[in-house]
């Protein structure tokens, strides 16, 4: 960490490798230690949020929360209130157990239909019944690029109960490999030992992720904000979580494993952009779950 920058050593290393130190320094003015005041109404209207958290073994998980608008609200610019009984996660998701034992979390609020997204890093300050009080430590908006537009059709009242069906494993089966190989959206959770957890988005045309084997993926890193928050975390703490949603069949696939940024890799054919760098992900565990039938997405052009 330097006097002029909110970045940690992993982020600075990635910025140096990419030759974007000055650009990243300028982008740092968008990072704040509190929520922008105009973001409070946006937060209150969200029906989906992505959370990054760590389990007792130090593995990082990306969890997706669904609920009616108001399950996550901003008490003020430095405090969020999360109503656990107002939302649900995938069956067997370790999020709540993780937050009970490790307060660090990253939040990505993303509207797929509008391509608006807000990243928040913070810690759980207290738990009262089903309400989690979250202290905000960093917040900033991300650009809308690479978000594939979908409209989440609000579920009927009482229609978001968890579906008690999930299975786990270590190697992807043929159907899961096809699922990932055709995906256009995934969510990434990462962490830093002292800076906490983070949640982010990756997207592209179907086929932008390559399944190298039942336990290894290659993911392109398209040009973004030049902060390198996610890849910087990978350098400092090589653990990550990936989550894929199969929107049509209403299923969710969560992966935990070891990420590794690749250096001096040539461009490879992909269907979105022309990336100059990639990272690979070695799968350690996966968890596949059903989502409630009331959750539906409508693709948008």
Q: Which of 119-133, 141-155, 159-173 has the lowest mean pLDDT?
A: 159-173
Q: What is the structure's pLDDT at 258?
A: 98
Look at residue 2 in the predicted model and tell me its pLDDT.
40
The domain tally of the chain equals 1
Question: 5: pLDDT confidence band, cut at 50, 70 and 90?
Answer: low
pLDDT value at residue 269: 53
In a domain, 90, yes or no: yes
Please check whether residue 26 lies inside any domain of the structure: yes
Q: Which residues pair with 201 in a beta bridge?
A: 187
pLDDT at 3 over 50: no
Is residue 226 assigned to a domain?
yes
Residue 1 resides in a domain: no
Question: Which is higher by pLDDT, 95 or 29?
Answer: 95
Examine residue 151 and state whether it is found in any structural domain, yes or no. yes
Strand partners, 34: none
Domain-located, residue 76: yes
CB 271 within 8 A of CB 208: yes
**Is residue 167 one of the residues assigned to a domain?**
yes
Between 157 and 7, residue with greater pLDDT: 7
Average pLDDT estimate for 45-71: 96
Q: Where are the alpha helices (DSSP H) in 102-186?
A: 174-181
Segment 212-232 mean pLDDT: 91
* Contact (CB, 8 A) for 88 and 71: no
**pLDDT above 70 coverage of the chain, percent:** 90
For the chain, the average pLDDT equals: 90
Dump pLDDT digits (tens) for 68-119. Answer: 999 999 999 999 999 999 998 988 899 999 999 999 999 999 999 999 999 9
pLDDT of amino acid 222: 85
What distance in Å separates the CA atoms of residue 133 and residue 73, rounded to the nearest whole number?
Answer: 10
Task: Check which CATH number belongs to the domain holding 253 and give it.
Answer: 2.30.110.10
Mean pLDDT is lowest, of 119-133, 150-164, 246-260, for 150-164
Nearest to 91, CA basis, from 296, 292, 297: 292
What is the share, in percent, of the chain residues with pLDDT greater than 90? Answer: 72
Q: 299: pLDDT confidence band, cut at 50, 70 and 90?
A: confident
Residue 93 belongs to domain spanning: 9-299
The 10s digit of each residue's pLDDT in 230-278 is: 999 999 999 999 999 999 999 999 999 999 999 765 555 555 455 568 9
pLDDT for 162 equals: 54
**CA–CA distance, 257 with 60 (Å, rounded to integer):** 8
Q: pTM value?
A: 0.92
Q: Is residue 4 part of a domain?
A: no
Q: Specify the range with the lowest mean pLDDT, choosing from 64-78, 144-158, 177-191, 217-231.
A: 144-158
65-69 mean pLDDT? 93
Q: Using alpha carbons, list the distances in angstroms from residue 67 to 61, 110, 292, 295.
A: 19, 14, 11, 10
CB 138, CB 123: distance < 8 Å: no
Determine the Cα–Cα distance for residues 154 and 139; give it in Å rounded to an integer.
26
């Amino acid at each position: 960490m330097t006097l002029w920058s909110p970045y940690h050593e992993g982020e600075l290393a990635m910025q140096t490798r990419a030759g974007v130190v000055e650009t990243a320094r300028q982008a740092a003015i968008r990072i704040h230690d509190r929520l922008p005041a105009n973001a409070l109404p946006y937060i209150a209207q969200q029906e989906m949020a992505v959370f990054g958290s760590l389990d007792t073994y130090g593995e990082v998980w990306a969890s997706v929360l669904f609920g009616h608008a108001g399950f996550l609200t901003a008490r003020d610019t430095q405090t969020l209130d999360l109503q656990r009984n107002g939302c649900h996660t995938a069956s067997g998701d370790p999020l709540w157990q993780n937050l009970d034992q490790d307060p660090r979390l990253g939040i990505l609020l993303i509207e797929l239909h509008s391509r608006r997204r807000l990243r928040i890093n913070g810690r759980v300050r207290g738990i009262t019944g089903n309400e989690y009080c979250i202290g905000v430590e960093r917040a900033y908006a991300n650009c809308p690029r690479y978000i594939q537009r979908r409209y989440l059709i609000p579920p009927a009242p009482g229609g978001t109960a968890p579906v008690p069906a999930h299975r786990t494993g270590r190697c992807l089966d043929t159907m899961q490999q096809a699922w990932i190989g055709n995906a256009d959206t995934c969510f990434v959770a990462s962490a830093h030992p002292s800076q906490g957890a983070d949640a982010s988005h990756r997207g592209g045309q179907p086929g932008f992720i390559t399944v190298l084997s039942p336990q290894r993926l290659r993911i392109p890193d398209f040009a973004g904000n030049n902060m390198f928050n996610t890849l910087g975390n990978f350098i400092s703490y090589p653990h990550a979580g990936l989550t894929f949603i199969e929107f049509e069949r209403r299923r969710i696939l969560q992966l935990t494993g070891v990420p590794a940024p690749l250096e001096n890799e040539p461009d490879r054919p992909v269907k979105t952009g022309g990336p100059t760098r990639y990272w690979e992900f070695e799968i350690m565990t996966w968890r596949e779950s059903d989502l409630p039938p009331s959750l539906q997405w409508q693709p948008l052009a």
